Amino acid sequence: MSAALVLAILAGAPLALHALWRARYGYPPDHIPRVLCFHKLSQRFLFEGTWTTPQRFAAYLDLLRKRGYTFIDESQYLAALDAPPADRTKQIFLTFDDGYTEVRDIAWPLLSERKIPFHVFLVTDYAGRENCWDLSLGRPSFRHLDWPSVREMAAAGITFGSHTASHADLTRMSRGDARANLERSRAGIGDVIGKPVRTLSYPYGRYHAVAQEAARAAGFEAAFSLYPAHRNSVTDRFALRRDAVYIIDPVAMIETKLQKKALYGLEEMKCRAINAVAVLTPLLKAR
């Protein structure tokens, strides 16, 4: 194979992948605010993808603000789902899955000083406990927020949603078990924060029709995946799309997740591939 042919293949592969992505998924609509999803903030190196350093997290925030993005809260996001079409591509709803203590100790001060609202999805059976539901991969465990911390943060205006009671894969549960799990989680958070819990984040971003039905029956107004199976132009209140942020995402590339530019499709395909690997956690933990 000639060098020219190799170069042509290397140059054409990204274009082909982007074309396949665009045909299958396409761009998100402009009238729905974008949603970013973070997991862990850590100073220590972790052998996984779902984390970032505090310094990089702060740099993400500062770059986005410099580029003219504004941050909205849960109520504003949910209202936007029902509002007439408008260009909301510069609005961001910032979310954290799992609700680790680092959200309180690291993220909250950084976001508070920048006056940025944020939303935390809690795993209620693990409040104040270590995340033994997760694969350890040889690293120290992370601890989930305890209820006094949730109460304190809620009093300061931070909003909370459910990440289920046990961080179980809802697609591997019966209809009755899924609903009971979600109802227990929603009631537990509601009792602590003193108001109805409006939103759910599916563990591992995984859902199906039964999980969606259970979420509706449990009283949620909306539920988030990460990269749903439907086309991005579709807005399903119980399969809402978010863009995940990983340790491999450089600060300068954060806008790639939000703008309809050349690399957008490749960025989403990368994140879809990473998220697909998450299914290994419940499978391996079950053994």
User: How confident is the model over 136-184, as pLDDT tens digits?
Assistant: 666 678 999 999 999 999 999 999 999 999 999 999 999 999 999 999 9
More confident: 140 or 4? 140
Q: What is the pTM of this model?
A: 0.93
Q: Look up the domain containing 207 and give its range.
A: 3-285
Confidence tier at 287 by pLDDT (50, 70, 90):
very low
In a 13 Å sphere around the CA of 98, the CA atoms on its Cβ side amount to: 22
Split into its structural domains, the chain has a count of 1
Separation CA 185–CA 200 (nearest Å)? 10
Longest Cα separation, the chain: 68
pLDDT digits (tens, 9 = 90+) for 102-135: 999 999 999 999 999 999 999 999 999 999 888 7
For residue 229, give the amino acid letter.
A
CA distance 66 to 210: 42
Residue 284 predicted with pLDDT over 70: no
Please tell me the distance from the alpha carbon of residue 269 to that of residue 227, in angstroms, as a whole number: 10
Q: For residue 32, what is the domain's CATH number?
A: 3.20.20.370
Cα distance between residue 235 and residue 281, in whole Å = 28
- Residue tagged 């419940």 (tokens): 282
**171-197 b/e with 16+ CB inside 10 Å = b?**
bebeeeebbebbbbbbbbbbebbeeeb
Give the model confidence (pLDDT) of 24-66 as tens digits: 999 999 999 999 999 999 998 888 889 999 999 999 999 999 9
The percentage of the chain sitting over the pLDDT mark of 90, rounded to a whole number, equals 78
194 pLDDT higher than 90:
yes
Distance CA(164)–CA(89), nearest Å, equals 29
Q: How far apart are alpha carbons 212 and 175 in whole angstroms?
A: 10
